[in-house]
Amino acid sequence: MKTLPLSVCMSVVLAASPGFAQVTRVVDDDAHGSPTSCDDSTPTFATVAAAMSAAADGDTVLVCPGTYVENIDFKGKAITVRSVAGPAVTVLDGNAADSVVMFASGEGPGSILDGFTIRNGRSGFDTPGFGDGGGVRIANASPSIRGNVIVSNQACSGAGISIRFGSPAIESNTIADNLQTGCSGGTGGGGIAVVGNSTAVIRGNVISHNVLTSADGGGIALFAAGSPTIALNIISGNTASGLSPCAQGGGISMVNQSDATIAGNLIVGNRAGCGGGVYWLVPSGARGPQLTNNTLADNDSPVGSGVFADGFDVAALLTNNIVVAHAGQTAVFCGDFNDLNAPLFRFNNVWSASGIPYGGTCADQTGVSGNISADPLFVNSAAGDYHLLPNSPSVDVGDNGAGALPAIDLDGDPRVLDGDGDGLAVVDMGADEVAGVQAPLTVVVDVKPGSRRNTVNPRSKGMLAVAILTTKTFDAMAVNASTVRFGPASAVPARARFRDVNADGLPDLLLQFRVPTTGIACGATDVSLSGETLDGRAIQGSDVLRTVGCR
């Protein structure tokens, strides 16, 4: 959530153009305040709507903390309506009377809504919104919506935000817990609906736990939406249900000509009857969607856990994505409606632990055009952490020439980085770009007298499993001698060899790791392996390994 210090809005009059001035109009629930202090005794506006009515193009309406029970309409004005202290303490409550915020008079990018909690809107067939946009309704307009929390609103379509024939910028918002009510069917969109030709940009939002009871697109619905861009969003826990034979697209649904660019998103834990993560039905003559560097995982659908692809989608393209199926389900399913030609798959990791990677009319793409099928090794998907471990098979194996390749990942890390330390910067698959690595780090282990060289097989990676249990530390980590592995959990083994480094007549073990840029500490620490095993072989007597240095 965004916090805006009041000091950023101290200027009352700024030059705009000859003959005009920009004015800051303050709103406070006690009707007192000034551009420099909400505690000022100066009389001001008590409602947002009143300040907006007085504002002219170029003005700013600055809203002090409080809960404002009203429904506001920009009425074509190019004004900025911004909270002083962010959405946590500044609420626009629609009182279930209509859409909370309306843009329906040709507004453009200069009409800005920034920093509010927008809640308790309801758009039904008995309201001016006629069932569109419980939180925000956009019709034939292209405003800027950023930094808001849009929650607990109701509508037939676009319960959070509805866009009809407009190309707004929807950026850095949280759109959550909105609900479809008042109709059966409709164009859907629990979080956002985009209906009609659009180049809308939906970027950097969290779109979660929105619910459709009888429509498609739990998170986002695109209906004849033109060519919108959906980038760097977290789309999670949304539900589309109630339709026969199946509600489509728990995360995103696309029907009619919706040639969306979908890049760098994390689409997880969504649920639908068909296409738990993403569903599309491409009409004849349309390009279809392009998906680049998305992570789709643990979405739930009996037909296409991650992706359900259908229609005339031979030109639809999936590049550098990770698609992981829910337990027992098919990761990607291709339908047979109209056209049996499958979309194009390049450099994707499509994997199902207990199901199959590809189903329906889609042939298995594993081993073709850079596609693989392997556990991507997330850090902790059960806890919602879908970052890649450094030794993930999805690291440094993507296509740097992919269209719409994001310049950053969800964490803001730059793309492309050298993730495996081979000196070549190759993009990772999925929404996460693993941080770069240092040159390989060599750890020297002095084998003490009495140790037996044949207890260690330098050609096996079996011995390179980290051990963490006892109170001893090894390279600044606790060591569990019962399942000894050498090296920190984040290190990737490169090679091992023997050499008498310290000239004591005994072969020392040199283990080389690729480690994250944060590195590891190296110190002289004894580790007793008595009675334990290393590489599956018994360690005898008082055998001891000692780290004597890193190079």
- pLDDT for position 446: 45
Q: Are the C-beta atoms of residues 372 and 416 closer than 8 Å to each other? A: no
Residue whose C-alpha is closest to residue 147's, from 211, 84, 59, 66: 84
Cis peptide before 87 (omega within 30 of 0): no
| Residue 444 Cα distances to 356, 426, 507, 551, angstroms | 44, 30, 11, 8
d(CA 335, CA 341): 10
527-484-549 Cα angle (round to 5): 45
- Phi, psi of 53, deg, nearest 5: -65, -35
Residues 424-451: pLDDT tens digits? 889 999 999 997 654 444 444 444 444 3
For residue 2, how many C-alpha atoms fall within 13 Å in the half-sphere facing its CB?
19
Amino acid (one-letter) located at 115: G
> Residue 283's CB: how many other CB atoms inside 10 A?
15
Give the model confidence (pLDDT) of 493-510 as tens digits. Answer: 444 444 554 555 554 444
Q: What integer pLDDT is reported at residue 245 of this predicted model?
A: 87
Q: What residues contact 423, with CB distance under 8 A and at least 6 apart?
A: none
Q: Is 302 helix (H, G, I), strand (E, B) or coil?
A: coil
- Residue 93 CA to residue 449 CA, distance in Å, equals 76
pLDDT for 34-77, tens place per residue? Answer: 999 999 999 999 999 999 999 999 999 999 999 999 999 999 99
How many C-alpha atoms does 286 have within 13 Å on its Cβ side? Answer: 26
**pTM for the complete prediction?**
0.78
Residue 429 CA to residue 435 CA, distance in Å, equals 13
Q: So what's the pLDDT on residue 21?
A: 61
pLDDT, tens only, 74-84:
999 999 999 99
- DSSP calls for 354-373: SS-SEEETPPP-TTSTT-B-
Token readout for 81 is 């309506």
Determine the pLDDT at residue 341: 85
pLDDT of the residue at 502 = 53
User: Of 160, 153, 226, 155, which Cα lies nearest the Cα of 192?
Assistant: 160
Instruction: State the pairing for strand pair 136-139/101-103.
Output: parallel
Q: Residue ranges of the chain with pLDDT lower than 70?
A: 1-21, 436-551
